[in-house]
Amino acid sequence: MVIGEENILYNDKINFYWIKEIKEALNKDTLYDWKHGLRYEKHVLPDSLTFVLTASERSFINQELDKMNTLAWKDNLLKHSILITKQKLQQYRDLHGGQSYYESQEYKKFHKSYTFTKPIFIRNNTVCFFYLAETYGGNLMIYIKDGKKWKLKYIPYFWTS
């Protein structure tokens, strides 16, 4: 997500459905990057294209995901951002004769709204799990710390509409 001169919209909460989907995607010992897992039979993938989670890591990640069911982001979390809440959406609907905000001209200038999790760190803060969705799709991403930089290494779960 690149934040420039234009505002971006983000949701205050991640829907419990996505938390459930993320937990299901991570409920296995070995994770596969979808770009490679879809093209090859998983048993022939080299180790560099797989990510192995221990039972305790999965348990910790699940606990952190459970906390996100009640997490609500605050306004002005990001520079040039606008927070969307269910209350704001209902207020808009009430003021505009039942029209959804997502059908409005105001929303169309943004093109997308974002939903994201709080980052989850494991392995002494060298591995990060982060889910980011926009209007038309989402990815669960695994970043690996390489020196002082974070590098996207795996995307074990994605969806698109």
pLDDT tens column, 85-138:
888 888 888 888 888 877 777 777 666 788 999 999 999 999 999 999 988 889
Q: HSE (CB half, 13 Å, CA atoms) of 113?
A: 18
- Residue 3 above 50 pLDDT? no
Q: Tokens for 136?
A: 């038309």
The predicted pLDDT at position 5 comes to 52
Mean pLDDT of 20-24: 94
Residue 31, phi then psi, degrees to nearest 5? -105, 145
**What is the pTM (predicted TM-score) of this model?**
0.83
Checking if the pLDDT of 37 tops 70, the result is no
The one-character DSSP state at 112 is -
pLDDT band at 45 (very low <50, low <70, confident <90, very high): low
Q: Each residue of 51-98: pLDDT tens digit? A: 899 999 999 999 999 999 999 999 888 887 888 888 888 888 888 888
CA 115 remoteness from chain centre: 6
- Region of 17 (left: φ > 0; alpha: ψ -120 to 50; beta: rest) is alpha
